[in-house]
Chain A
Amino acid sequence: MLFHTWPFVLFFLIVYPIYLALKETKLRLPWLLAASYIFYAWFNPLYLILLLYATSLDYIVVLMMEKWGRKKVWLSISIANSLALLGFFKYAGFVTDNLNVLLSSLEISYTLPAPGIILPIGISFYIFQSMSYTIDYYRGNIEREKSFITYATFVSFFPRLVAGPIERARNLLPQLHMRPKFSRQDITDGFSLFIVGFFKKVALADYLALYVDKIYAAPDKFQSPALILATFLFGWQIYFDFSGYTDMARGVARTMGFNLTLNFNNPYLATGLGDFWSRWHISLSSWFKDYVYIPLGGNRREKFNTYKNMFLTMVISGLWHGAAWTFVIWGVVHALGRVMTRQLERTTFYKEKVPKLVKQLLVFTFVTFAWIFFRAESFSDAWIIVTRIFSSGFANPYCPVLALALIFVVWLYQFAHESRIGWVLDLATVRITIVVLMVLYLIIFASSSEQAFIYEQF
């Protein structure tokens, strides 16, 4: 069930009034849990088994930690289980393919059979969320959640189940415990977030996908301008797609009185790669920082170790996104970029002498270049794109001007928002006009999209 489709509208029209009716009763969380499971089962009822298993195991593990001690053992069981689930459902095909390549290169005629496993939607998100709970309990940062219903709702809360934000127990569990006290402003804020997210997904991301998909499906047939524009558009497509999803998720949660983490904060206005990662997929970046980078040693020892930890974290983050070498390379590219620019970004010259717009342009160019590896179907495709960008001709790209114009308008809006004239965007007439135009554009012109979100597959 996707936020931008009619079934979700009907689902929410049923779930929400009942939630409001039950919000002061003990049935509030069971209802939320039931709704979340129905929401997830809509994709495939079998997924529920996995979700229930992952939830139950971590709940029991933390219970065991509290009752029997030997926390390290139980934590190891929890982490091993989570990684095994991810490994089996997400990386089995990848590992098999690579082993087969290895066997073939060793001239061994045996071929491992393809596992043929369907990747359960959102598995990386809820597994990471559940992992953070056990690790935080192990570290003594949180109390054990006593109610299974509350814990299961924490793991499966439907607005964020499929593609995040990856919530921490210390943020979401207290909200689940409290009787919701939400004002009219919460509801209207929820609508505001939802409509913006809806617009980003349907009017922008799915539109840009039309061009990007065409070019990336056969990169050897296109020349430099088309490849550059497709890569540029993909940078915006993935931003609109994922931040649109997050906005809708946060909007839906807000109407029910929950505050989910801010996941995107105008990332393409970042002035450094460090800044970019503090604005892009914030909940994942902070997860990797807390549970990978810091346990590896963070920046506590000499510089080499800091860079090594940073590099490893970025590469693992790349692999988290998908089971393919292209994602690993994407992580490596970002890791190299981050390692090479960390010192530069700290210099007075970079901070004060380089104009902000130039810094933003440089970061955007680098990030966009890295997207080539993220989006390409294979490494060979990515290589074709990179080489053809620099070596092919300048044939007409036939890229819709309207798509570019829409991106420019969004960029201008974000730029103005962070500039001194940002107050203009706060004027009621401006905001009302923008929302009316968005609604009309969506109803009249946008495609009747049913395209899934890019990040669902992770």
Chain B
Amino acid sequence: MKVIEKTNKASFSSNNIRLSGYEWLIVGIICSVLFFLGPTLWERLEQFNPEADYRLPSELSNDYWLYKKYSRWACSRYETLVIGDSVIHGPHVSKYDTLPHHLNEIAGSNQFANMGVDGVHPVALAGLLKYYGRDISGKNVILYLNTLWMSSSKLDLNIEKEFHFYHPRLAPQFMPNIPCYKDSYSRRISSVAERYMPFFSWSSHLRIAYFDNMDMPTWTMEHPYENPLKAITLELPTSENNTQKEFVPRTQKRTAKEDFQWVEPATSLQWSFFRQTIELLKARNNTVFVLVGPFNEHIMEDISRTVYQKMKSEIELWLQQNTIAYYTPPVLPRDFYHDASHPSSQGYAMLARQLFENQSFKLSILKAEPQQ
């Protein structure tokens, strides 16, 4: 064994862990091997056996490493991926009542994967697919647009005042500027590093999946006498009917008529990122079908509804001009909504039926022959 030189040892440091260049090289090699192989080995070790109608458990919504793994799995088994926010995920209904489930039921086989993620607004969705959805290529994609994210400047992330929105790690960290995003530079750089180095997103996965979305030190504060290593059970939470009855964003919890301050598509940040997502998916050879709404128009003031219709027309116009297949379903019956944008179980069933009757859907997703 090599022993370090004693010269100047006393003044070096009280802790005296001193490595030579050669020894640092060994440390670098060991760490690099673990850095690159760790996440891959972990994928093999960790049990991940999604059942039919699987959806990412709500508590793992921020686990982008798992999303990447799931999207790879889904791409290998499903024809069509249904991508969107909680409206697709269906946190208020059982997994047997989501839109992808009803689509599968009508199709008679498991063709539609539920790729919904709680709170993933278009700005975050663009980041999610850009960095963690690289495996989604050559597939049919139903891309859901929840116009709720354009219902105010705040939700559109277009205000100067700091606003803690969902999934900040997926938003652009530097350019383009998100006016209400005021995180520290250190956190922003961490988020960027996580996107490009799987090791970091994997270590986030460990925190989210096994330490209740906390880092280990914080977790031990809540479990002071437990062995943190025992928490790593290699078993992920399942998505078995985990309905979140209480998870209702304030903005959606209204029952009285509401005067939504719709943001014009021309200036909307969310809409511009949604368009980028369409371009990205198309560039990856996916067939994209956009589902716009249906938003709960029953809770809108008349003036708000008028502005909403205009906004929807502009969105439709852009989709037509760019030859994107889409469907803007009519508003569902009043009782078929859970809130402003989430349909109830019956609402999802009705929406699925409407989709299967839609000509554009048949052509682009079901690949039906065009009617003469």
Contacts and interface: CB of A to CB of B under 8 A. Distances in A.
A425 B16 contact: yes
Interface in A405-458: 413-414, 417, 423, 425-429, 431-432, 434-436, 439-440, 443-448, 450
B24 A444 contact: no
A241 interface: no
A6 interface: yes
B13 A446 contact: no
B15 interface: yes
A304 to B, nearest CB: 35
Interface in B1-32: 1-4, 11-21, 23-24, 26-27, 30-31
Contact of B14 (A264, A400, A428, A432): A264
Given A188-B20, A262-B11, A401 B3 contact: no
Contact of B220 (A5, A400, A429, A434): A400
B216 A210 contact: no
Contacts of B228: 402, 445
A299 interface: no
Given A192-B17, A265-B14, A432-B23, A446 B215 contact: yes
B186 A427 contact: no
B189 A400 contact: no
A28 B285 CA distance: 53
A247 B188 CA distance: 26
B23 A207 contact: no
A182 B221 CA distance: 44
B224 A435 contact: no
B217 interface: yes
A431 B23 contact: yes
A427 B225 CA distance: 34
A445 B30 CA distance: 18
A450 B18 contact: no
Interface in A209-249: 210-211, 214, 243, 247
Contacts of A210: 217-218, 221
Contact of A401 (B2, B30, B225): B225
Contact of B3 (A413, A414, A423, A439): A423
Nearest to A6: B189
B42 to A, nearest CB: 11
B14 A266 contact: yes
Nearest to B1: A427
A363 to B, nearest CB: 16
Q: What is the predominant secondary structure among interface residues of chain B facing chain A?
A: helix
B14 A262 contact: yes
Of B26, B27, B190, chain A has the most CB atoms within 10 Å of the CB of B27
Contacts of A192: 13, 17-19, 24
Contacts of A259: 11
B19 A443 contact: no
A10 B189 CA distance: 9
A71 to B, nearest CB: 33
A290 interface: no
A435 B4 CA distance: 15
B19 A188 contact: yes
Interface residues of A, number: 59
A214 B206 CA distance: 25
Contacts of A193: 12-13
A450 B20 CA distance: 30
Of B16, B17, B224, chain A has the most CB atoms within 10 Å of the CB of B17
B362 to A, nearest CB: 48
Contacts of A429: 1
A380 B217 CA distance: 30
A6 B190 CA distance: 7
Contacts of A247: 13, 15
A211 B14 contact: no
Interface in B196-237: 199-200, 203, 206, 215-218, 220-221, 224-225, 228
Contacts of A26: none
A325 interface: no
Of A5, A192, A243, chain B has the most CB atoms within 10 Å of the CB of A192
Contacts of A9: 189
Given A206-B217, A247-B15, A428 B187 contact: no
Given A6-B189, A210-B217, A444 B203 contact: yes
B17 A450 contact: no
Contacts of B109: none
Given A264-B14, A398-B224, A450-B187, A440 B19 contact: no
A370 interface: no
Interface string B141-168: 0000000000000000000000000000
B184 interface: yes
Interface in A383-417: 398-403, 413-414, 417
Interface residues of B, number: 43
B11 A428 contact: no
B34 interface: yes
Contacts of B247: none
Given A423-B3, A450-B186, A445 B15 contact: no
Nearest to A259: B11
Contacts of A448: 186-187, 190, 215
Given A196-B15, A432-B26, A446-B215, A399 B3 contact: no
A432 B224 CA distance: 30
Interface string A311-338: 0000000000000000000000000000
A250 B1 contact: no
A300 interface: no
A189 interface: yes
Nearest to A438: B17
Contact of A436 (B15, B30, B186): B30
Contacts of B224: 398-401
A439 B27 contact: yes
Contacts of B217: 206-207, 210, 400, 402-403, 445-447
A435 B15 CA distance: 12
A184 interface: yes
A185 B21 contact: yes
A191 interface: yes
Contact of B21 (A184, A196, A428, A439): A184
Contact of A6 (B3, B11, B185): B185
Contacts of B15: 196, 247, 413-414, 417
A7 interface: yes
Contacts of B13: 192-193, 196, 247, 250, 262
Interface in A1-33: 2, 5-7, 9-10
19 contacts: A5-B184, A7-B186, A9-B189, A191-B19, A192-B18, A193-B12, A210-B218, A400-B217, A401-B224, A401-B225, A402-B220, A402-B228, A425-B17, A428-B3, A432-B19, A432-B27, A435-B27, A439-B27, A445-B215
Interface of B: 1-4, 11-21, 23-24, 26-27, 30-31, 34, 184-190, 193, 199-200, 203, 206, 215-218, 220-221, 224-225, 228
Given A191-B24, A210-B218, A439-B31, 5 more contacts: A7-B186, A423-B3, A427-B1, A440-B34, A448-B187
What 4 pairs across the A-B complex have the smallest Cβ distances? Answer: A6-B189, A5-B186, A400-B220, A447-B215
